[in-house]
Amino acid sequence: MNIRTYQGLLLAALFWWFGTAQAQCLLVSQGDTPLLALDLQLEPRWVLAWNHSVTGILVRDFYALQEGNMTLTQSHTPSFDAGLGHIPGRGRVVSDDKHGYWIKDINEPVFGNRYLLRVGSPSVNHRIIHAGQTYSLSERAAGERVRLAVITPAIPATPDATLEEEACQKALNPKR
C-alpha cells in the first residue's frame, strides 16, 4: 500500500469513529419525571445493588454499556436466597471464597436498552453505584415503578427533544 491509501483509510476510520461515537446516559425516571441521569461517557459501567427483602443480604447486578447496548455482565450474591440463583446457560457460577457466588460472563443485552423496576422500601435500599458515587432509588421512589434506560440524546439539543433527552442533556452538559 502506498501513503495515499493509508491516509484514505485513516481518514475513513476517523469519520466512522466521530460519526458513530455518541454521548449516552443512564436515565432513571418515574412516569415522565426524571429522577436521576448519569453520564456514561467516561464511566460506562454501573451497579444496581439492593438488600434482599427477606434476609437482608447485599445483592449486586453489574451493567456496562457495550457497543451502545445496556448489558448485564455479572451478578454477585452471598447466597441463593428466595428469588435468587443461577439460570443454566446464562453465565457461569464461581465461588467468591466467602461462601457467596458470582455469576460471571452473563453478557446479556437488555432488550430495548430499558427495563422497569419496582423500587424497594428504604430497608431494601435499591441503589445505583456509578463512578464512585451511590444514588439511592429507594430514597427517591420507594414502592414505585421506575424505568432505567440508556438514552442517546441528540447533540446538539433539538427543539423537539423528549423529556428523556432533555434530562440527559443536563447530565451530559451540567453547565448549561
Which is more confidently placed, 20 or 93?
A: 93
Asked if residue 84 has pLDDT above 70, the reply is: no
Helix (H) or strand (E) segment spanning residue 7: helix 3-20
pLDDT digits (tens, 9 = 90+) for 95-135: 778 778 888 999 999 999 999 999 999 999 999 999 999 99
Q: In this structure, what C-alpha cell is assigned to residue 66?
A: 457495550
Which is more confidently placed, 54 or 88?
A: 54
According to the model, what pLDDT value does residue 65 have? Answer: 95
Q: Taking the domains of the chain in order of start, what are their residue ranges? A: 3-172
Mean per-residue pLDDT for 129-154?
95
- What count of other Cβ atoms lies within 10 Å of the Cβ of residue 142? 17
Which is more confidently placed, 168 or 111?
A: 111
Question: What sign for the dihedral angle of Cα 86, 92, 25, 140?
Answer: positive
Mean per-residue pLDDT for 3-32?
60
Distance (Å, rounded) from C-alpha 2 to C-alpha 10? 13
According to the model, what pLDDT value does residue 82 have? Answer: 55
If pLDDT is split at 50, 70 and 90, which confidence band does 3 have?
low
**Is the whole-model pTM more than 0.85?**
no
Asked if residue 12 has pLDDT above 70, the reply is: no
Residue 74 makes CB contacts below 8 A (sequence gap 6+) with 61, 62, 91, 102, 103, 104, 105, 106
Question: What sign for the dihedral angle of Cα 102, 106, 108, 113?
Answer: positive
pLDDT digits (tens, 9 = 90+) for 18-70: 434 578 999 999 998 999 999 999 899 999 999 988 888 899 999 999 999 99
Where are the strands (E) in the chain, listed by range?
25-30, 33-39, 45-51, 58-66, 69-77, 92-95, 101-104, 108-109, 114-118, 127-130, 133-136, 145-151
Of 66, 48, 20, nearest to 128 by C-alpha is: 48
The DSSP symbol for 127 reads E
According to the model, what pLDDT value does residue 6 have? Answer: 46
